[in-house]
Amino acid sequence: MDIILFGMQGSGKGTQGKILEEKYHLKVFEMGGQLREMIASGTPLGDKIKEIVNAGNLVDDDTVLQVVGEFVDTLQSDQPILFDGIPRTVAQSDKLLNLLSTKGRDAFAVLIKITEDEAINRLTQRRVCESCKGVYPPSYKSEECQHCGGKLVVRQDDTPDSIKRRLENYRKETIPVIDGFYDRDHLIEVDGEQEIDKVSKEMIEKVDYLFN
Ligand code: AMP
């Protein structure tokens, strides 16, 4: 069973995704991370994506579906995947579920719930490691990543305008996708405003049956 991790930007999907990855030996596909790698490559396509991402807009479906399709093709069919950051629209959801079913796969959704106010607080105050992409809250005072020693920086798209646009996209485009999983009884909801350990505990209690 593949897992699609949903949650507003800043909900802790990256952190919780790592916990699921280790516990259930999932392969993580992080759409935003893949796009940032394409931006770093400095190709014409990367430059085009950079403009879209920095403005907080969504990259076109053909590009994201191509990237995700190439990733799925590198794996054996019995290797479960954790998707983070895709699908973000109903059209992407239909295309992704179609792609997965042609490969004999099925996906269940896990939603980490936080309010929009909490998301804005977290996004305006977080820093990320330039090297390993670890995310740090404002309470972490050092300039260095505690895992790899990399430099902590503000993400280029964590500007007020971009944050506003991304949350608007989430509300308009992604919530209907989540509703679709709820309607098909394929959604697990977790309270994302608890301490990190408690979020993980609740999530694992609820997803465990999918892997046993
Ligand atoms: P994230 O790291 O998930 O916050 O994503 C960063 C940015 O990458 C988003 O604001 C979008 O510009 C772009 N992006 C990520 N995932 C998708 C997607 N599934 N479809 C289109 N654009 C995406």
Q: How confident is the model over 128-143, as a mean pLDDT? A: 91
State the pLDDT at residue 194.
Answer: 95
User: 31 CB less than 6 Å from ligand 1?
Assistant: yes
Token pair listed for 131? 């090297």
Q: Is 80 in the pocket of ligand 1 (CB under 6 A)?
A: no
Cα distances from 123 to residues 76, 114, 139, 159, in angstroms, run 36, 12, 13, 9
Ligand 1 centroid to residue 212 C-alpha, Å = 32
Q: Where are the domains of the chain?
A: 2-114+163-211
pLDDT, position 57: 92
Instruction: Work out the number of other CB atoms within 10 angstroms of the CB of residue 190.
Output: 24
Q: Say if ligand 1 is within 6 A of residue 32 CB.
A: yes
Rounded CA gap, 49 and 58, in Å? 9
CATH number for region 2-114+163-211: 3.40.50.300
Specify whether the CB–CB gap between 53 and 37 falls below 8 A.
no
Residue nearest to atom 8 of ligand 1 (CA): 32
pLDDT band at 178 (very low <50, low <70, confident <90, very high): very high
Q: What is the pLDDT of residues 50-106, one digit of tens each?
A: 999 999 999 999 999 999 999 999 999 999 999 999 999 999 999 999 999 999 999
pLDDT score of 61: 94
* Cβ 166 under 6 angstroms from ligand 1: yes
Distance (Å, whole) CA 31 – CA 48 = 16
Ligand 1 mutation target, pool 53, 93, 128, 162, most atoms within 8 A of CB:
53
The pLDDT assigned to 139 comes to 87
- Return the HEC string of the chain: CEEEEECCCCCCHHHHHHHHHHHHCCEEEEHHHHHHHHHHCCCHHHHHHHHHHHCCCCCCHHHHHHHHHHHHHCCCCCCCEEEECCCCCHHHHHHHHHHHHHCCCCEEEEEEECCHHHHHHHHHHCEEECCCCCEECCCCCCCECCCCCCEEECCCCCCHHHHHHHHHHHHHHHHHHHHHHHHCCCEEEEECCCCHHHHHHHHHHHHHHHHC
- pLDDT beyond 90 at 212: no
Atom 2 of ligand 1: nearest residue by CA position: 32
Whether the Cβ atoms of residue 28 and residue 84 lie closer than 8 Å to each other: yes
d(C-alpha 141, C-alpha 55), whole Å: 28
**Is pLDDT at 142 greater than 90 in this prediction?**
yes
- Whether the predicted model's global pTM rises above the 0.75 cut: yes
138 pLDDT higher than 90: no
Q: Is 7 in the pocket of ligand 1 (CB under 6 A)?
A: no
pLDDT band at 137 (very low <50, low <70, confident <90, very high): confident
For residues 123 and 160, give the distance between their C-alpha atoms in angstroms, rounded to a whole number: 9
According to the model, what pLDDT value does residue 102 have? 95
- Cβ distance 14 to 30 under 8 Å? yes
Atom of ligand 1 at shortest range from CA of 92? 19
- Quick check: CB of 9 below 6 Å from ligand 1? yes
pLDDT score at 193: 96
Query: For residue 62, what pLDDT is reported?
Result: 93
Does the C-beta of 52 come closer than 6 Å to ligand 1?
Answer: yes
